[in-house]
């Protein structure tokens, strides 16, 4: 295994140890820490570092407190939400990523394309949210996009609470989640300034995109048929297919984007990523694309592969080069 892959594995182990350490602190060590702070006096207590919730990853945040627009019921599948994964220490970069798992718009791969990825971001010292969005065939466009936009607005509105900057909110998507993320990056608005709900006044534009083996187009010959029909129905409107073929919707305002995919992917053709990257280049948007020769669809982090498993390191390098892993205003 290459050193960089081993480094990522070490981060994962460190993350697990941090979970254990936090549990021990919650069980008894916290009283000692409180006593020490009190002994140091008020000025020291005021300087106490920010601390995330005692149980990371267990904070579920409803996108709409009183029911989501267009909901067809009140079951779990009708209630879109975010699961918050704060870093184990302070977040000096003030960066966060909203992660949209894949699943063909019919289910959510929320473990290997959600929670595991959130923990990896935490190991880099940044906050993460895993998005649970509504799915087809029960729900069709624009419901899914509305859920993603609401998630971005919510995090932006509550940025101070999450200890992040309102202009450092990225969105990541895997497979169909990549289509949702790329839709958020090409179909956004500045918010409704006159809205009664303060969340709706915020912009829905993500500040950067991370797309993993994404579905991009809704048009033949490279569309993923399952995602197409789950999102738009069995007989999709050609105008909607065009509108949601996101390679056709890129502008100079589309956020900077990191993409990776594989030539072996026989589920979502590599052309999806290539077309989006080409459109970004044409629009003058900063973009980075990695096409690996081998690897199946749906690999997640895939840290066990000494070649494909390098993609998280490449992503970390891209984020570092863009200043997303350091405090705002520093080089």
DSSP 158: T
The predicted structure's pLDDT at residue 115? 96
Q: How far apart are CA 247 and CA 186, in angstroms?
A: 9
Q: pLDDT class for 19, splitting at 50, 70, 90?
A: very low
Q: Write down all domains in the chain, each with its CATH number in brackets.
A: 55-321 (3.40.50.1820)
The predicted structure's pLDDT at residue 1? 38
The predicted structure's pLDDT at residue 58? 56
Residue 172 has pLDDT above 70, yes or no: yes
Q: In the predicted model, what is the mean pLDDT of residues 272-282?
A: 98
The predicted structure's pLDDT at residue 302? 86
DSSP 292: E
User: How large a percentage of the chain has pLDDT more than 90?
Assistant: 79
Residue 279 has pLDDT above 50, yes or no: yes
Q: For 281-328, what is each residue's pLDDT tens digit?
A: 999 999 999 999 999 999 999 888 899 999 999 999 999 999 999 999
CA distances from 45 to 30, 49, 205, 239, 244 (A): 14, 9, 38, 59, 52
Residue 194 has pLDDT above 90, yes or no: yes
Pick the range with the lowest mean pLDDT from 64-73, 102-111, 118-127, 300-309: 300-309
Q: Is 7 exposed, middle or buried (0-12, 13-18, 19+ CB in 10 A)?
A: middle
CA distances from 204 to 154, 170, 186, 227 (A): 9, 11, 10, 23
Look at 282 and 9; give whichever has higher pLDDT.
282
Q: In the predicted model, what is the mean pLDDT of residues 166-175?
A: 98
Tell how strand 127-132 and strand 208-212 pair up: unpaired
The predicted structure's pLDDT at residue 104? 98
Q: For 196-231, what is each residue's pLDDT tens digit?
A: 999 999 999 999 999 999 999 999 999 999 999 999
| pTM of the predicted model as reported, rounded to 2 decimal places | 0.84
């Amino acid at each position: 295994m290459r050193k960089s892959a081993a480094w990522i594995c070490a981060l994962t182990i460190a993350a697990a140890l941090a979970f254990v350490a936090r549990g021990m602190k919650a069980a008894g060590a916290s009283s000692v820490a409180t006593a020490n702070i009190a002994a140091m006096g008020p000025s020291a207590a005021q300087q106490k570092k920010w601390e995330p919730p005692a149980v990371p990853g267990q904070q579920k945040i409803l996108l709409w407190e009183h029911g989501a627009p267009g909901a067809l019921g009140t079951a779990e599948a009708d209630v879109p939400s975010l699961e918050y994964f704060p870093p184990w220490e302070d977040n000096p970069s003030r960066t966060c990523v909203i992660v949209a798992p894949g699943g063909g718009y019919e289910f959510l791969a929320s473990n290997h394309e959600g929670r595991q990825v959130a923990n990896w971001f935490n190991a880099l010292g940044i906050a993460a949210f895993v998005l649970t969005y509504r799915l087809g065939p029960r729900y069709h466009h624009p419901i899914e996009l509305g859920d993603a936009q609401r998630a971005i607005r919510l995090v932006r509105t509550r940025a101070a609470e999450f200890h992040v900057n309102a202009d450092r909110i990225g969105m990541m998507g895997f497979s169909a989640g990549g289509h949702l993320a790329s839709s958020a990056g090409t179909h956004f608005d500045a918010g409704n300034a006159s809205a009664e709900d303060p969340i709706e006044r915020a912009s829905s534009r993500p500040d950067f995109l991370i797309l993993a083996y994404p579905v991009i187009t809704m048009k033949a010959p490279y569309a993923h048929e399952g995602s197409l029909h789950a999102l738009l129905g069995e007989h999709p409107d050609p105008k909607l297919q065009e509108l949601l073929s996101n390679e056709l919707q890129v502008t100079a305002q589309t956020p900077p984007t990191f993409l990776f995919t594989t030539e072996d992917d026989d589920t979502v053709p590599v052309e999806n990523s290539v077309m989006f990257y080409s459109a970004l280049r044409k629009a003058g948007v900063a973009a980075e694309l990695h096409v690996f020769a081998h690897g199946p669809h749906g690999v997640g982090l895939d840290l066990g592969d000494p070649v494909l498993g390098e993609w998280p390191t490449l992503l970390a390098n891209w984020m570092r080069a863009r200043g997303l892993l350091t405090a705002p205003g520093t080089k």
